[in-house]
Amino acid sequence: MVKPTAFSRGALLASLAQATIAASTSRYTLTQVFNATNFFSEFTFFDQPDPTHGFVEYVDAPTANRLSLAGYSQNGVYLGVDHTNTTTTGRKSTRVTSNQAFTKGLFIADIAHMPGSASSSCGLWPAYWMFGPDWPTSGEIDILEGINTQKSNSITLHTAKGCEMANTGSLGSTKLANGNCEGNTGCGQTTSATNNYGAGFNDIGGGIYALEWTDDHIAVWFFPRNSNTCKSLAAASPSSVPNTSNFGTPLAKFVGNGSGNCSIPNHFKDHNIVFDTTFCGDWAGQVWGQDDTCKSLADTCEDWVGQNPEGFQEAYWLVNDIKVYQQVDQGPAAGQTDGGFGVQRKPDEERRRARSFEA
C-alpha cells in the first residue's frame, strides 16, 4: 500500500534525462508536461454524481488532500480511493480532468501503477481517457480501461452517429469487437497481453501508454517498464521528441477514412484528459453476475464495494508524467505550440478554480 504525501505541501521536482529517440527536426514538438511539479494546478477535481452511475462519491481537492486520496508518492502523482471505511452510499474516490483541451497530438503517459491487484479487483472500473464537449458529438478515446477481473486492456472510441472504424494496422492478437463507434457501446478493441492492465501491469512497474491522434488514425502503443522504448521515452529531454515510426506495431489502431468510414476531424476534437476510478455502475456492476470470481464474493457489486474497504488498498493511480507533443507545420518558429494540433484552455472561471487548489 502506498501512502501519499499531501499535495498541499508543494510540488516535487522532476528530472528528465537526455534521450536519443528522435532528432529535434521531428514533426512533433513538446508543448506540455504534466507531472508532480504542476499536476494539481493543471487538473481539476470532478465532484459531481458519476455520469456512469457508479457506486462512488467523487471528492473535491480539499477533501482528497485531507483524506490522503490524492498527493505525491515516489516522485509521482497519486490518485486513490478510500480503503478504510464502509459505505452504503458510494466509495470515496478521485476523478481529475485536465484544464487544457487538445485536438490531435501525441500523448505519452508514464504510469507506474493503476487500480487493481491479483487478490482484489472486483468492483473496480478505472480509466485513463479523453473526451470532448457535448458527448458524444466531440468523441471519446478510452486509452486504458477495464473492469472487475479483466486481465487485458480494452481500448475504445465513442462518437456520434456516422463513424465506422477499421483496425487495420493493429497488433495481430488485438481484436476489433465492433466497428461502429456510436454511443455508449462504441468501437472497442480487446487486447490479449496480461501485462498491459491491472495486476499484471502493476507487477512489472507499469509502463508507458502512447496515443497518436491524427486526421487519419488513432493509435495506441504500450511499452512495458523494462523495454528499451519505455526507458527512452521516460528519459526524453524537451529537445528530443519521439518518432512514432520507430514504435513498432500499435497495440490498437483505429483507421477512419480509407480502411474505415469515419472522418476523425469531424468526430474528435477539444479533448480533456481524465483519470478516474469508479465502482460498479453501467459496466462493472451490470456484468457482476457474469464473473464467477466476483459473484462469489457478494450478491451485488455494491454490497462488495461498500462493505470491504480493505479490498481497495491497491486501487490507486501513480502517474509519473504525461508529455504532450503537437505537430508543427512548416513555417512556425521553434517553440510555437500550435501548428495544426489545437490546444484550448477551459474558461477562466474553471482555471481560477483549479489554481485555488494550489498550496
For residue 164, indicate whether it is catalytic.
Answer: no
> Which residue did the predictor score with more confidence, 201 or 331?
201
The domains located in the chain, with CATH, are: 16-332 (2.60.120.200)
User: Counting every residue, how long is the chain?
Assistant: 359
> What's the pLDDT band for 329 if we cut at 50, 70, 90?
low
Can you tell me the distance from the alpha carbon of 222 to that of 206, in angstroms, rounded to the nearest whole number?
10
> Which residue out of 140, 182, 212, 302 is catalytically annotated?
140
Per-residue model confidence as pLDDT tens digits over 240-262: 889 999 999 999 999 997 777 99
If 0-12 CB within 10 Å is exposed, 13-18 middle and 19+ buried, where does residue 154 land?
A: buried
Q: State the DSSP H helix or E strand holding residue 319, giving kind and residue range, or none if neither.
A: strand 317-327
Torsion of CA 129, 264, 181, 247, to 10 degrees: -60
Mean pLDDT of 82-104: 99
Rounded alpha-carbon distances, angstroms, from residue 144 to 185, 229, 321, 355: 16, 19, 15, 28
The position carrying cell 483549479 is: 354
Count of alpha carbons within 13 angstroms of residue 36, beta-carbon side: 26
pTM for the predicted model, two decimal places: 0.88
Instruction: Give which of 68, 79, 59, 122 is closest to 306, Cα–Cα.
Output: 122
> What's the pLDDT band for 106 if we cut at 50, 70, 90?
very high
Q: What is the pLDDT of residue 318?
A: 99
Is the CB of residue 70 less than 8 Å from the CB of residue 40? yes
For residue 57, indicate whether it is catalytic.
Answer: no
Mean pLDDT of 33-42: 98
> Which residue out of 145, 182, 212, 314 is catalytically annotated?
145
Q: Quick one: what percent of the chain has pLDDT higher than 90?
A: 79
Q: What is the pLDDT of residue 8?
A: 55
Mean pLDDT of 335-352: 36
Q: What is the pLDDT of residue 14?
A: 33
Residues 6+ apart with CB under 8 A from 213: 104, 105, 106, 107, 141, 264, 268
Mean pLDDT of 59-75: 98
Q: What is the pLDDT of residue 2?
A: 75
Q: How far is residue 58 CA from its own chain's centroid?
A: 17
SS3 assignment, position 333: coil
Q: How many CB atoms lie within 10 A of CB 232?
A: 19
Q: Is the pLDDT of residue 279 over 70?
A: yes
In this structure, of 118-132, 229-243, 325-339, the range with the lowest mean pLDDT score is: 325-339
* DSSP codes of every residue in 17-81: ----SS-TTSSEEEEEEESTTTHHHHEEE--SPPTT--SEEE--HHHHHHTTSEEEETTEEEE--
Q: What is the pLDDT of residue 239?
A: 86
Residue 59, C-alpha cell as written in the block = 471528492
Q: What is the pLDDT of residue 4?
A: 85
Q: What is the pLDDT of residue 197?
A: 99
Can you tell me the distance from the alpha carbon of 252 to that of 197, in angstroms, rounded to the nearest whole number?
14
